[in-house]
Amino acid sequence: MAANPRWSPLPGGIDQMDWPQLEAAVAACRACGLCESRRHTVFGAGSTTADWMVVGEAPGENEDREGQPFVGPAGELLDNMLRAVGRNRTGSGAQGAFIVNVLKCRPPSNRNPQPAEVAQCAPYLARQVALLQPKIILAMGRFAVQSLLQTDEPIGKLRGRVHRYQGVPVIVTYHPAYLLRTPIDKAKAWADLCLALETARALGQPG
């Protein structure tokens, strides 16, 4: 990504930051051009003791306005999906799900994330995973999947298997916004959630 005098390098020591330090670093980040158009950064939501982590793609207009991930219709669908498997964004431990995006700032007009933007945000996501130490990661949407698994394979070819990121099991599924547009694939997403539950149970988590 081209240098810009209004941008600044990522802060040093991200891999040593605690939760408050990391959230402050994200809020102050000016490492790419998304800092120019955002209203709020979107760090994440949920208990930092949750066993599950949900990773989405990038904030949209509602998320940018509120500073929270997965709000609006897609957020409602995500909450319903989590509730169906006994998880929610406010619970802790086995009942909780900490929700983040690959990008912490909204791309203008909700365009797709650019590779350089994903790369700039990757250390923040890596540190969130390291701090949370989730038992399961649910990767929702193409850009979340590609960022975590470093692959260009489509979601359809990656579903139904347990992948790994930093040693954590990763279950691949569709983004709720996609499911709202393509409700016929909700059955596939339900199968993905069931795989996540089975994987959790194999690790000794409550079902």
For 183-202, write each residue's pLDDT tens digit.
999 999 999 999 999 999 88
Task: Identify the bridge partners of residue 172 per DSSP, sorted by sequence position.
Answer: 139
Q: Are 74 and 182 in contact (CB under 8 A)?
A: no
Strand order in the sheet with 93-101: 93-101, 50-56, 136-140, 168-173, 162-165
Domain locations along the chain:
16-202
Q: Are 141 and 156 in contact (CB under 8 A)?
A: no
Question: How far apart are the C-alpha atoms of 98 and 3, rounded to whole Å?
Answer: 33
Q: Is the pLDDT at 94 greater than 50, yes or no?
A: yes
CATH superfamily of 16-202: Uracil-DNA glycosylase-like domain (3.40.470.10)
Mean local confidence (pLDDT), 15-19? 97
Q: Is the pLDDT at 1 greater than 50, yes or no?
A: no
pTM: 0.93
pLDDT at 182: 97
Mean local confidence (pLDDT), 26-45? 94
pLDDT at 121: 95
Q: Is the pLDDT at 3 greater than 70, yes or no?
A: no
